[in-house]
Structure 1
Amino acid sequence: MPEGHTLRRLALDLSDAFAGERVTVGSPQGRFAADAALVDGTVLEAADSAGKHLFIEFAADRIIHIHLGLIGKLDITTGPAALPRGEVRLRLATVAPYDGSGRKPAAYADLRGATRCDLIGPERRDQVIATLGPDPLRADSDPDRAWARISRSERPIGDLLMDQAVLAGVGNVYRAEVLFRHRIDPQRPGRSLRKSQWQAMWDDLVLLMAAGVTVNRIDTVRPEHTPEAMGRPPRVDDHGGEVYVYRRTGQECLICGTTVRTSVLKGRNLFWCTRCQPRYRSRALG
């Protein structure tokens, strides 16, 4: 499932391509046709994201709410394009190509396979955002909201970080990597963390996810652990990016050489290094 940086990148790209333009809105597949007709030919004002939710804002307080889910994809193209038919649920298109008058180039956006694509209003958008924890990519987020839940919970921190009601936008990659970078056992109870540990993880996520927006992939290794610095081959994986433990099961830890392990936590694969992230033992148990 795309993580929060992907949705923020899509929001920025949609705004760059369409904001301020009158757009055609259609549904070649037909499933969104009735709602598409209500915003067809109107001005697309902006796009925004919160966690793994995308909001495309049109005039008259009409908003298209998208959640990509596991297989959803939104492709944005500028310039001439061969437009496919059939499986496309939502298509946005500017009316005319750039002609030297200051207008943006022609642009197209096609949505396929999304879990959710609805036309909503501001009140419903605010309700959706209210169900989410703080998003490290949003300037209005308060990490103390997440800490209030983490600090009271017996659930493993590896589970809490994936709960979108606790922390929005973090998925399996950022979860695995931020825990490794801070040497925290994924199974450690949330309430056992110190607030300083949580604040350090939050600050790290803010930087890592912002970098992910910029380069449109997840890179989490520090400069001294890049392929160039270590003289090792680059990572080859369809998720891209240089990481410490995510999907590196059976490989050597880049720092200590211990074999990276995996297990399942709440239905999702968990990756960690047993030496760099030693098992948490409560002092109360001795």
Structure 2
Amino acid sequence: MPEGHVIHGIAAALTGLLRGQVVHASSPQGRFSSGAALLDGCTFTGAIAHGKHLFASFDPGAQAPHILHVHLGLYGVWSFALAAEHPLAPHRNPLLTAAGEGKQPQVIGDAARFAVPAPRGAVRLRLVGKQAAADLNGPSRCEVLTAAEVDVLRARLGPDPLLGDSDPDAFIQAVRSSRRAIGELLMDQSVISGVGNIYRAELLFRHRIHPATPGQRVSVRKLQQLWSDAVVLLADGKRLGVIVTTDEGHLNEPPTGWTKLAERAPNEEADLRWYAYRRSGRPCHRCGNLIATSILASRTVFWCSRCQRAPSH
């Protein structure tokens, strides 16, 4: 499942491609025909992300704005096509290349000859502007909401490290008031939005916190440091389009770039990019102890038993 940096990158990409344009919306697959009909012919005014949720606004003119809400879930992906002259074309701007885990954007002719390519797979929603198109495949949620409904949904989400107006104290209070394991709390989107399995493992390793430590036993100072680190790491992820948490990884990125889908990264790449994630049974970069794993919050969690001491009972 894409983590928060991916969704923020997609929101920025959609805004850069379509903002201020009257868009044609359709559902080639047919499963979102009624929703696409509401968006068709509206002016796209921009997209934002909150954690793993994307909200795109469409102005129909005389009515209240329509807001497209998308959650990619495990299998959803956005893909893009655009004219070679578009300012976001990959040879001019890295934004689309960094925005998400789908295929590379297709560059098709020039502005005068831009032709939307045939849909690939089961496209739930297609948005077409003057020089660009965006396709959405396989989301777990794709719906049109009112502004009031968006407010209700966002009120249930925890603070997002990539949103400048997020309140880290809300995150700290939620963790400190819970007996649940910190490794479980970091995956709870009502506690902190946008952190997934990779960021969980890496944040806990970087701050020497065992994933089974009860939230109420993690100090305020540690949680402040963890939040500040999450702000930096997710921002790096948005900029690069991939998660890299080690200094060595930032210094040794191969010329062809890192593997987009983390679960497909070979061991050598995992060793460069991450301290703990996907490194089960491999030596810890700090102490040489072997990285351990277990299941927590229905996902495999990775940690070093020497650097991240288990909590005493």
Fold match (TM-score > 0.5): yes
Match of 1:263 among 274, 284, 294: 294
CA offsets 1:28-53 (integer angstroms, 9 cap, x no match) = 11111112111201110000000100
**What SS does structure 2 have at the residue aligned with 1:45?**
strand
Distance 2:155 2:312 in 1: 35
Q: Percent identity?
A: 44
How far apart, in 2, do the equivalents of 1:265 and 1:180 lie? 15
1:67 corresponds in structure 2 to 71
Identify the residue that residue 13 of structure 2 maps to in structure 1: 13
Q: Which residue of 2 aligns with 1:243?
A: 274
Q: How does 1:267-278 map to 2 (within 5 A)?
A: 267-278=298-309
Of the three residues 78, 81, 91, the one matched with 2:126 is: 91
In structure 2, relative to structure 1, the CA distance for the partners of 1:91 and 1:151 (3 Å cut) is: same
Pair 1:192–1:57, CA change in 2 (3 A) = same
Describe the SS at the equivalent of 1:218: coil
- Structure 2: how far apart are the matches of 1:236 and 1:109? 22
Task: Tell me how far apart the structure 1 counterparts of residues 284 and 206 of structure 2 sit (CA, whole Å).
Answer: 12
Aligned AA for 1:199? Q
Structure 1 residue 273, shift from structure 2 partner: 0.6
* Number of residue pairs the alignment of both structures matches: 266
Q: Does 1:180 align with 2:213?
A: no
**3-state SS of paired residue (1:49):** strand
> Which runs of no fewer than 5 residues in structure 2 stay unpaired?
84-107, 109-115
- Give the drift of 1:108: 0.8
> Do 1:28 and 1:86's aligned partners in 2 also have CA atoms closer than 8 Å?
no
* Matched residue SS, 2:136: strand
Q: How does 1:1-286 map to 2 (within 5 A)?
A: 1-59=1-59, 60-79=64-83, 80=108, 81-84=116-119, 87-94=122-129, 96=130, 106-221=131-246, 223=247, 225-226=248-249, 238-239=261-262, 242-281=273-312
Deviates more, 1:125-134 or 1:235-244: 235-244
What is the identity, as a one-letter code, of the residue corresponding to 1:197?
A: K
Superposition TM-score, scaled by structure 1 size: 0.89
In 2, the alpha carbon distance for the partners of 1:61 and 1:73 equals 24
Shift of 1:86: 5.7
Would the alpha carbon gap of residues 165 and 7 (structure 1) be closer, same or farther in structure 2, given more than 3 Å must change? same
- C-alpha contact 1:13 1:76 (8 A) present in aligned 2: no
| TM-aligned CA distance change 1:174 to 1:85, over 3 Å | closer
Do the aligned partners of 2:241 and 2:260 also contact (CA within 8 Å) in 1? no
Cα separation, partners in 2 of 1:83 and 1:235, compared to 1, 3 Å: closer
Is contact 2:121-2:137 (8 Å) kept?
A: no
In structure 2, what is the Cα distance between the partners aligned to 1:84 and 1:237? Answer: 22
Q: Measure how far apart 1:84 and its partner are.
A: 1.5
4+ runs deviating over 3 angstroms: 225-229, 234-238
Quote the RMSD (CA, aligned, Å). 1.8
* Correspondence for 1:102: none
SS of equivalent to 2:44: strand
Say if 2:7 and 2:53, in contact at 8 Å, map to a contact too.
yes
**Distance across 2 between alignment mates of 1:172 and 1:86:** 28
Cα offset for 1:256? 1.1
